[in-house]
Amino acid sequence: MKVKDMSPKTKAARKKTQAAFNKKPANAKKRAEANKGRAKLGIPKGSKMDASHTKGGGMKKESRAANRSRGGKIGNRARKAAGGRASSRKGVPNRK
């Protein structure tokens, strides 16, 4: 669910939870390391590029679309499956 579609009560609860999460030292450290990595790669604020995490633990400069299409650690399982969601629909031809 997108934030803009949430009720005011749900938005307030989410904001409170997120503030507590962001305050934790481990999360602050993680954000600081990510920001340093972006600076080292020379990615300015508002850029169409992402700092993609590599399997070796480093970071590389990559387009947002390419980086986010992989779905991350868990990601969108339907998109990660071979052929995407359309492939699992029995009896319905794939839309391509």
In order, the DSSP letters of the chain are --GGGS-HHHHHHHHHHHHHHHHSHHHHHHHHHHHHHHHHHT--TT-SEEEEEPTTS-EEEEEHHHHHHT--SS--HHHHSTT-GGGGSTTS----
Q: Is residue 42 part of a domain?
A: yes
21 belongs to a structural domain: yes
The per-residue pLDDT for 66 is 86
- Count of domains in the chain? 1
**pLDDT per residue over 48-89, tens digit each?**
999 998 888 899 999 988 888 876 655 555 555 555 555 555
Q: With bands split at pLDDT 50, 70 and 90, how would you rate the model's confidence at 5?
A: confident
Whether residue 7 is contained in a domain is answered as: yes
> Other C-beta atoms within 10 Å of 81: how many?
12
Q: Give domain status of residue 93, yes or no.
A: no
Domain membership of residue 95 (yes or no) is no
- Structure-token match 């995490």, residue found: 53
| 86 lies in some domain | no
Global pTM value: 0.57
The answer to the question of residue 14 being in a domain is yes
Q: Which residues form the domain of 44?
A: 3-69
